[in-house]
Amino acid sequence: MAKSTPTRKRAAGDSVLDGSARTMVRGAPCRWQWERGEHRLVSDDVIVTAVDRAARIWTASAPGPIVPGSKAHKAAFCRMLLDTHNPYKPAIIDWPELEPEARCRLVSLSIWDIAVQTEGKARLRVLSYGEEISDPLLRRAIELDGFEEGRHKEVLSNLVQAYGIRLAPEPEYRRPRDPEWAFMVTGFSECIDSVFAFGLFALAKSSGFFPPALVDTFEPVMQEEGRHILFFVNWVAWHRRNLPLWRRPIFWAKILAVWAFLVWERIGIARGFDGAGNGEGGMVPQDNNFTLTGSKSVGAADLSIAALIDISLAENDRRLSGYDPRLLRPMVVPCLLRIIRRLLPRPGSGAAPP
């Protein structure tokens, strides 16, 4: 969790067990830590800094290269997700009080319905696919992925309740007919959206659109999205290489179909259509292109597309930089953005946030 995370409400048993150390996350200014039979007094800032670092920096213990598709590869991307899990609890977040102007800016954003619904569907899709996995380690990692997607929904639901944001009624979240397809739609969709979301989050922070306390509250959620896309692209590479030869072309075709669906959705032709392709109805039409137009909403109306791309790519690289470089990185969206960027003029000075 970010070091400057807002004060949390104390909750009984709000603890984390980690090997030989037992630490209490949040509460009184100082807590006792038991380690190797000794005890010492540690401050909340020390604990939160350690948790935040553990969520952002990780290296596999296996030496040498990690070959995509190998057992070492599977162990690495699964352990990355499991070992970097941040144990924050949405139920005990003490949402900061906002000035009227800041609250009005927050309420005016047209993203809350789709954000809550997206996380709700993502949780069910990921967990549904996890139920089909027999490998214990991979299943644990996918179940954690689904848990964190559900926790994102809980964070957003608590936020809209705290600030009196009205949402449209949520649809019924139905189990997908093809869990693997649904899992891939969620994963590739996050690969697209996260790059822009990282940039917009940085803009919201630098422009003051979100107050610092609110930025700090959302910081763990943003970092989790980086972990999720890193896990997903490595799963795709590992899964493809472990399929029988005759099934690999089918899987490639499925990947292309998912990308075609997502492009179709994001250009607005299928606005309001369910992202898993399972026939769910009743959704309120939403603007799935918010990540491309949101810079105006967060207080950067004069920001060029070129500057937004620069910021988004820089933030994407920064958020993934702490994880083992032997793991594969998302390539499609960053490569496409770099190609587009070469065709655009350089932004004026002062376009990027500090």
The pLDDT value recorded for residue 317 is: 96
Of the ranges 14-23, 233-242, 295-304, the best mean pLDDT one? 233-242
Q: Quick one: pLDDT band at residue 259, thresholds 50, 70, 90?
A: very high
Question: Are the CB atoms for 137 and 292 separated by under 8 Å?
Answer: no
What are the percentages of helix, strand and coil residues in the chain, rounded to 5?
55, 5, 35
Q: Quick one: pLDDT band at residue 347, thresholds 50, 70, 90?
A: low
Mean pLDDT confidence for 312-334? 96
Least confident range of 22-31, 63-72, 131-140, 144-153: 22-31
Q: Quick one: pLDDT band at residue 3, thresholds 50, 70, 90?
A: very low
The pLDDT value recorded for residue 34 is: 45
What are the DSSP calls for 307-319, one per residue?
Answer: HHHHHHHHHHHHH
The pLDDT value recorded for residue 136 is: 97
Least confident range of 49-53, 129-133, 312-316: 49-53
Mean pLDDT confidence for 325-333? 96
Question: Are the CB atoms for 275 and 185 separated by under 8 Å?
Answer: yes
| CB-CB neighbours of 282 under 10 Å | 11
Tell me the three state secondary structure of residue 240.
helix
User: What average pLDDT does the chain have?
Assistant: 79
pLDDT > 50? residue 14 = no
Q: What angle do CA 269, 270, 275 make, to 5 degrees?
A: 145
Identify which of 22, 41, 25, 23 has the alpha carbon closest to the alpha carbon of residue 220: 25
**Bridge partners of 24?**
15
| CB-CB neighbours of 187 under 10 Å | 23
The pLDDT value recorded for residue 43 is: 52
Question: Are the CB atoms for 90 and 151 separated by under 8 Å?
Answer: yes
The pLDDT value recorded for residue 297 is: 59
* Tokens at 69, concatenated: 């598709």
More confident residue, 136 or 50: 136
| Residue range 170-187, pLDDT digits in tens | 888 899 999 999 999 999
The pLDDT value recorded for residue 273 is: 40
Helices 212-241 and 248-266: angle between axes, nearest 10 degrees: 150
Residue % of the chain over a pLDDT of 90: 45
The whole-model pTM stands at 0.80
pLDDT > 50? residue 120 = yes
Q: Quick one: pLDDT band at residue 268, thresholds 50, 70, 90?
A: low
Least confident range of 87-96, 181-190, 291-300: 291-300
Identify which of 145, 185, 139, 148 has the alpha carbon closest to the alpha carbon of residue 278: 185
The pLDDT value recorded for residue 229 is: 97
The pLDDT value recorded for residue 18 is: 34
Question: Are the CB atoms for 300 and 207 separated by under 8 Å?
Answer: yes
